């Protein structure tokens, strides 16, 4: 089985695929409470990952490569550093609990591998979500009263794309 993770300090998406590439688990782990410290957030993620070790026999772990450069208006050095540290610790937790070495996959490469094309100027999150709705009947979306996907939906979709790209790479 394959574990795909989209790691964030606010919400982490996690997907488990079976050997045929079918979804067994696809959830969002929320750690966005304002009063949680860096390490308390990591404790929550570690507990969730530990639960996966008890329920699934994970043979491969794929993690979305963390942000490596500035994006105009979207990132600061402090934010990139925080995400890098958080991602590194979660990667190590996976390595420790599963005794497997996780592999990083670039988000754009993962989308391309799975067959998702993002037209110029379009929101990649919305395009990935539409792909999921069109191609994965087991992927359900709940909406807010304003008709927006509930928090965690995009993270679940992204973790699926990472897991599926990993599955494809293993098959080729």
Q: Which residues contact 45 (CB under 8 A, 6 or more apart)?
A: 7, 12, 29, 31, 90, 93
- All structural domains of the chain: 2-171 (3.30.420.10)
Residue 133: predicted pLDDT: 94
Which of 157, 165, 162, 160 has the alpha carbon at shortest distance from 141?
Answer: 157
Encode pLDDT of 79-133 as tens digits: 788 888 999 999 999 999 999 999 999 999 999 999 999 999 999 999 999 999 9
Residue 150: predicted pLDDT: 95
Encode pLDDT of 38-92 as tens digits: 999 999 999 999 999 999 999 999 999 986 554 545 566 777 888 889 999 999 9
Could you identify the residue written with the tokens 């359900």?
140
Asked if residues 64 and 30 have their Cβ atoms less than 8 Å apart, the reply is no
Token pair listed for 66: 């963390």
Question: Which long-range contacts (C-beta less than 8 Å, at least 24 apart) are formed by 121-126?
Answer: 125/154, 125/157, 125/158
Residue 13: predicted pLDDT: 97
Asked if residues 128 and 111 have their Cβ atoms less than 8 Å apart, the reply is yes
Residue 172: predicted pLDDT: 86
**How far is C-alpha 98 from the chain's CA centre?**
17
């Amino acid at each position: 089985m394959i574990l795909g993770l989209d790691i964030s300090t606010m919400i982490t998406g996690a997907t488990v695929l079976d050997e045929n590439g079918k979804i067994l688990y696809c959830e969002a782990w929320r750690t966005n409470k304002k009063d949680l410290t860096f390490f308390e957030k990591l404790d929550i993620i570690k507990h969730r990952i530990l639960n996966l070790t008890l329920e699934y026999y994970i043979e491969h772990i794929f993690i979305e490569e963390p942000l490596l450069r500035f994006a105009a208006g979207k990132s600061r050095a402090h934010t990139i550093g925080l995400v890098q540290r958080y991602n590194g610790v979660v990667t190590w937790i996976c390595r420790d609990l599963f005794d497997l070495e996780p592999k990083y996959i670039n988000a754009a490469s993962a989308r391309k591998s799975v067959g998702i094309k993002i037209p110029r100027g379009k929101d990649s999150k919305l395009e990935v979500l539409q792909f999921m709705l069109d191609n994965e009947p087991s992927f359900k979306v709940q909406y807010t009263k304003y008709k927006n996907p509930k928090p965690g939906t995009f993270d679940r979709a992204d973790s699926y794309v990472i897991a599926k790209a990993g599955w494809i790479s293993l098959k080729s």
